[in-house]
Amino acid sequence: MKDLSNAVLQIFKSKAPKGKTRRLVGQVRVEMEENGFDIISDIYYMPYTTEKWGYHSGWKKTLINPHEGWWQEAFEMSIRFVSSVLGKEFVREQ
């Protein structure tokens, strides 16, 4: 399970916005659970890195977030990877 969790962690780190400091990449980590693992990021601004940006009144235009949806994309890639390794299909519950 440790090898699988590290591989999934690398997927998330590869998709994380790099920025100047690479702080977000460095703070994405894995936490082992009894029956699996969690991918965690405690950085307070992480949720904002995945959101769609809106109109910016100071610049008088709608800005586009180049990293929009990166966490969701990493999650989907991870599910496909884990499915292929374990030979099982996983379905995301709503």
Cα dist from 10 to 15, 53, 60, 65, 81, whole Å: 9, 26, 38, 22, 12
> How do residues 4-62 score in pLDDT, each as one tens digit?
999 999 999 999 999 888 898 999 999 999 989 999 999 999 989 999 999 989 989 99
Q: Is the pLDDT of residue 91 over 80?
A: no
**Predicted confidence (pLDDT) at residue 76 exceeds the cutoff of 90:** yes
pLDDT in tens, 62-73: 989 999 999 999
Q: What is the pTM of this model?
A: 0.85
Strands 55-56 and 61-62: antiparallel
